[in-house]
Amino acid sequence: MNKLAVVAVSLVAVGALSTAGAWYTGTQLPGVLNDLIEESNRQGAEALLGTGASFKLELVSLETRLFTSTARYKFSFDAPSEEGEARHMEVLLLDNIEHGPLPLSRLMRLNLWPVMVASNYQLEPNELTQKWFDAAKGAAPLTGQASLGYNGASRGSLVLTPLDFAPSPTSTVKFSGMTLDFEASKHAKEVQVSGTMDSLSITSTEDTPVQADLQGLTLTSDQRLGSADFYVGDSSIKLATAQIKVGDKPAVLIKDIAQVGSLQESGSMLNGQIGYDLGMVSYDGKDIGGLRTLWAIKNFDSTALQSLFKLYQDKLTPIQQAQALGEEAPQLDFSADEEARMKADLEKLLAGKPQLALDNFTLTTPHGQASLRVAVDMDKPESFELPPDELARQLIGKLDAKLTVAKAVIGDGVRIQAMVEGVTDAQAIEQQAAMMTEMGSGMALGTGLLTLKGETLQSTLHYADNKVTFNGQDMSVEEFVTLVMSKTGGMGGGLGDDASAYGDDAPQDLGGYDDGAETQAPDQAE
């Protein structure tokens, strides 16, 4: 047999297999779609528990042919309004489905990996979405493609079309468009999502003019379903810049906005952290400061947490739903069995010695930095029937906290206030900043709750085994409570005689540039 004959036979075989596969896919498609819709509705109901809102996906019609099918879906969303009446919204999708194992669109891209179906869907216009179509100049504002493998895995992308329109006579929207790529295993046990958006600009001239510009959005998520039905893995949402301008006020610019999270499973324990960052905030082109936060959990028993969440869903969801609909909420009652279950779950959770921590809270200004760290290790008490003070002692196994504030941060606060208030006299601002730095730090030291190391105010606290170490001094819990109450009680805030150390120079108003202040900028005087 010559090469031409081999090629011909191969093509006939592929064609026959493709035809048989397409016919088989057509017979299986209704059941596959119904399973996917049922799974989507289940996950949607879980996500909206307690909100009073409901979500439903329906297959409106399905036309099946040998190699292709056409499906139409309807998304319905109902949510309570402020008046307690439900709001109803519907969105329609048209889906052109190519049957596997070798859909034509994939063959044209030389993608020869067999799949069950290749889906090409787009939004259809209706009363709700017609303005969206008009903004996209008649094009479908939402399109996407996805493939479903014979193993139940799916992958594809969703595209939001660029828009440039005026939703009202006093507002405009310019949107660069957005693309989301996704992959998911069967039943979404493993899910990866990534997406990007270049820009979104919204302006409004109604009443007070407002302009908001967002640039450089990226998002990623790589997660899998853990042993206790928690999704574990990494996720992030980042925005390069956000600029907001209100009225004739200078613009506020925020750079490098980020939310980054990670949840991991070690045996039956969950460990995770989530951070929120503002790289730098600027006002009228001048840098004000940045903020970084990081929260963390360690040693949280996943099965105990899942059981507590299930109890939450069963008992609190009806109350939240009634409140969302403006109806009278049912009483929160626990049966003896439910109370025993909750107690057992809490004991199991605390037996793992879980830790909650604010690992990092750092404010950075042009001339200084302030930071706070707090970590609490919890423990299982002998009994939940103990007196409140003894129960608290046993619940907290260990606590560590540290606060540091550079004195320069106080001066930067004065400079920021002057900037916002429009004070322009540089010499007056610096005089006020220097005065308030010394007065503010002196008053803080006067409480006795902070110490000074170099040019930094700081305070440290350690608690364990019913003993406290505060700013390097050992004391009992009772002594620590007495100390704090004595320093913070009363109108003087614990300043005592220290306030008089400033004599006639003691500040009367720490927050502004009053008309009688010697350091007032000349152009602010009346």
Checking if the pLDDT of 509 tops 50, the result is no
CA distance 394 to 375: 16
The amino acid that residue 234 corresponds to is D
Average pLDDT, the chain: 84
Q: Is 249 within 8 Å of 210 (Cβ atoms)?
A: no
Checking if the pLDDT of 145 tops 60, the result is yes
Confidence at residue 325, expressed as pLDDT on a 0 to 100 scale: 63
Q: Alpha helix locations (H) across 407-459?
A: 407-421, 426-446
Task: For the chain, give the percent of residues with pLDDT over 70.
Answer: 84
Checking if the pLDDT of 176 tops 80, the result is yes
* DSSP 8-state symbol, 517: -
Nearest alpha-carbon partner for 405 in 441, 360, 446: 441
Nearest alpha-carbon partner for 302 in 222, 224, 376, 227: 227
Q: Is 325 within 8 Å of 372 (Cβ atoms)?
A: no
Q: Give me the residues paired with residue 7 across strands.
A: none
138 pLDDT band (50/70/90 cuts)? confident
Confidence at residue 359, expressed as pLDDT on a 0 to 100 scale: 96
Q: Alpha helix locations (H) across 199-258?
A: none
Confidence at residue 124, expressed as pLDDT on a 0 to 100 scale: 93
What's the Cα-to-Cα distance from 491 to each of 99, 413, 486, rounded to whole Å?
77, 24, 11
Confidence at residue 45, expressed as pLDDT on a 0 to 100 scale: 78
Q: What is the SS3 assignment for 207?
A: coil
The residue that leads in pLDDT, 144 or 513, is 144
Checking if the pLDDT of 521 tops 70, the result is no
What's the pLDDT tens digit per position in 243-297?
A: 999 998 999 999 999 999 999 999 889 999 999 999 999 999 999 999 999 999 9
CA distance 148 to 118: 7
CA distance 515 to 492: 26
The residue that leads in pLDDT, 219 or 6, is 219
Residues 6+ apart with CB under 8 A from 341: 307, 311
Checking if the pLDDT of 44 tops 90, the result is no
Q: What average pLDDT does range 369-378 have in this prediction?
A: 97
Confidence at residue 347, expressed as pLDDT on a 0 to 100 scale: 93
Residues 6+ apart with CB under 8 A from 407: 368, 437, 441, 455, 456, 457
Q: Alpha helix locations (H) across 48-149?
A: 104-108, 130-135
Q: Is 213 within 8 Å of 253 (Cβ atoms)?
A: no
What's the pLDDT tens digit per position in 429-464?
A: 999 999 999 999 999 898 889 999 999 999 999 999
Confidence at residue 524, expressed as pLDDT on a 0 to 100 scale: 36
* DSSP 8-state symbol, 101: S
9 pLDDT band (50/70/90 cuts)? very low
Task: For the chain, give the percent of residues with pLDDT over 90.
Answer: 53
What's the pLDDT tens digit per position in 321-363?
A: 676 666 777 777 888 888 899 999 999 999 999 999 999 999 9
CA distance 308 to 349: 10
What's the Cα-to-Cα distance from 44 to each of 38, 39, 51, 90, 195, rounded to whole Å?
10, 9, 12, 15, 21
pTM for the full predicted model: 0.81
314 pLDDT band (50/70/90 cuts)? confident
What's the pLDDT tens digit per position in 462-505?
A: 999 989 999 999 999 999 989 888 887 643 443 334 433 333 44
33 pLDDT band (50/70/90 cuts)? confident
Delimit the domains of the chain by residue range.
1-161, 360-524
Confidence at residue 416, expressed as pLDDT on a 0 to 100 scale: 92
The residue that leads in pLDDT, 204 or 499, is 204
CA distance 280 to 184: 36
